[in-house]
Structure 1
Amino acid sequence: MTSCVVTGGGRGVGRAIVERLAGDGATVAVLEVDAAALDWATDRPEIVPVLGDAADPEVAARAAAAVPRPLTGWVNNAAVFRDAWLHEDPAAVADLIGRNLHPVLAGTAAALRAGCTAIVNVSSHQAQRAVRGALPYATAKAAIEGLTRAAAVDYGPRGVRVNAVALGSIATERSDTHVAGLSPAAAEHFTREIAALQPLGRMGRASEVAEVVAFLLSDAASFLNGAIIPVDGGRSAQGRDPESAQGRDPEEV
């Protein structure tokens, strides 16, 4: 792996991906809209900051040009976490869908034009199982998974692999801030809910996502194309049912 681009790479999962790829010896362009999110990358020659909107094709092209060739990996991670109700403001919903989908379109196009051969899109369990009140985000992520499969079919003959990771609940600064703002009782309820939703019984770690992304970009995944890999502790495999034997060990069932 020689050169990569990670959009939204300044914080959380994006930063973990950048750190993982840089640790493998890659030069990584980090496309970020917030300059403050890149304070940690100061004086690190292997990390190249690119400031701007990941949805802007010119900015995406600038990121592609910021690292040496060959460009071997591109990660579309940038996202907007904000919701709107369809019945209240359809235009706001459409805007939020676009703000999550357009960076992936611009990034994938820039990667293809630059000759990149491995692209990973960051999706969510919500692409398949919507969370109430998160219609724009769930819709955008479903579109991103469709784009992943279609791009894999269109560009596979050129030797380009396009895959995605569908994340469950991952511990980041954002989730830490959310939990810190809860009352003790609400925080305990949140922890119980995560344990019920994700069979491994905990939030995922950003570093665990980064490991899967690094694998998908590597030659070890050379025959993986058009795949949506759940990185969710088993959340997508589990069917919650009021008659299930929750709380009992398998030997007791």
Structure 2
Amino acid sequence: MRSFVVTGGGRGVGRAVVERLLADGDVVVAVELDARALAWIGDHPAGERVIAVRGDACLEEVAEHAAVLAAEAAPLAGWVNNAAMFRDASLDTDDAATVLDLITSNVAAAVTGCAVAVKHYLAAGRAGAIVNVSSHQAQRPVRGALPYATAKAAIEGLTRAAAVDHGPAGIRVNAVALGSVQTERYQQFLAGRDAAAVAAVNAQMAELHPLGRIARAAEVADAVAYLLSDSASFVTGVVLPVDGGRAVRGPDPEEN
């Protein structure tokens, strides 16, 4: 049995990753800022193998607490930095401090998680894995999402640099770059729109992704589980697109 920490583990992609790792019989600590998003853990069939930690993943004391709980249950083998803040800002309408704060908030959670995980792996004298959750926007930003796209680009740089720095200790650091995913947040985005508007959004999403649909959260979780597993023992410094081909799709000038 091994243990894992998943930040932003209460809902969406984070919860899917938690559930996927639990299915393998391991222990998972889910870190989540919103206590309501952790309510499902109380009566989960995994029982004591799933542990809730409420707190801000940007804070080192929160991440350290999660690491200690995980390591007490079983050897700490993997860390998933999934926590993110979704808020848009623009250089022309917001002051620089606001934009910088939003960028920093997203990068800080990944840096904190990486730092705590690396130190625990080194102290235990064990190899370990880290997976950072990025986005297709790190390479192809969507208008209006500058802080988020900038932060995800920084997280991909962090992934490569940490892989180089800590590879000699057997610590692997990878990232998954996501397209659109079927989560509660996506459903909230559609809520309140009439049927025609929902159909239009779904058609647009299908067009953006060459596979013709957005991802299921469980599909992302499978990719994360692979990168954490021994099957990926010689994979590090990789940013793996899990986006149905969205990042490679370009406009076809002959379509219209």
Equivalence for 1:192: 203
2:65 maps to a residue whose letter is R
Q: What is the alpha-carbon distance in structure 1 between the residues aligned to residue 13 and residue 31 of structure 2?
A: 14
Q: What is the alpha-carbon distance in structure 2 between the residues aligned to residue 240 and residue 63 of structure 1?
A: 44
Equivalence for 1:147: 158
Q: Which runs of 5+ in 1 are unaligned?
A: 247-253
Q: What is the alpha-carbon distance in structure 2 between the residues aligned to residue 20 and residue 99 of structure 1?
A: 27
Equivalence for 1:225: 236
Q: What is the alpha-carbon distance in structure 1 between the residues aligned to residue 76 and residue 170 of structure 2?
A: 13
Equivalence for 2:66: 63
Equivalence for 1:18: 18
Equivalence for 2:48: 45
Q: In the alignment, does 2:217 pair up with 1:206?
A: yes
> By how many angstroms is 1:106 displaced?
0.4
> By how many angstroms is 1:123 displaced?
0.2
Equivalence for 1:7: 7
Q: What is the alpha-carbon distance in structure 1 between the residues aligned to residue 61 and residue 251 of structure 2?
A: 45
Q: What is the alpha-carbon distance in structure 1 between the residues aligned to residue 106 and residue 74 of structure 2?
A: 28
> By how many angstroms is 1:69 displaced?
4.1
TM-score normalised by structure 1 residue count: 0.94
Q: What is the alpha-carbon distance in structure 1 between the residues aligned to residue 209 and residue 182 of structure 2?
A: 13
Contact preservation (8 Å) 2:57, 2:112: yes
Contact preservation (8 Å) 2:8, 2:83: yes
* Cα-to-partner distance string for 1:37-69 (whole Å, 9 max, x where unaligned): 011110421111111110001111111001134
Equivalence for 1:249: none
Alignment of 1:1-253 (within 5 A): 2-43=2-43, 44-67=47-70, 68-88=73-93, 89-115=95-121, 117-244=128-255
Q: What is the alpha-carbon distance in structure 2 between the residues aligned to residue 23 and residue 161 of structure 1?
A: 22
Q: Which runs of 5+ in 2 are unaligned?
A: 122-126
Compute the RMSD of aligned alpha carbons.
1.2
2:68 maps to a residue whose letter is A
> By how many angstroms is 1:192 displaced?
1.3
Q: Mean Cα displacement is larger for which, 204-213 or 60-69?
A: 60-69
Contact preservation (8 Å) 2:27, 2:50: yes
Q: What is the alpha-carbon distance in structure 1 between the residues aligned to residue 54 and residue 183 of structure 2?
A: 22
> By how many angstroms is 1:170 displaced?
0.3
Q: What is the alpha-carbon distance in structure 2 between the residues aligned to residue 4 and residue 79 of structure 1?
A: 18
State the identity %: 60
SS at match of 1:120: strand
> By how many angstroms is 1:184 displaced?
2.3
2:84 maps to a residue whose letter is A
Contact preservation (8 Å) 2:139, 2:153: yes
Q: What is the alpha-carbon distance in structure 2 between the residues aligned to residue 146 and residue 57 of structure 1?
A: 21
Q: What is the alpha-carbon distance in structure 2 between the residues aligned to residue 181 and residue 145 of structure 1?
A: 35
> By how many angstroms is 1:241 displaced?
2.5
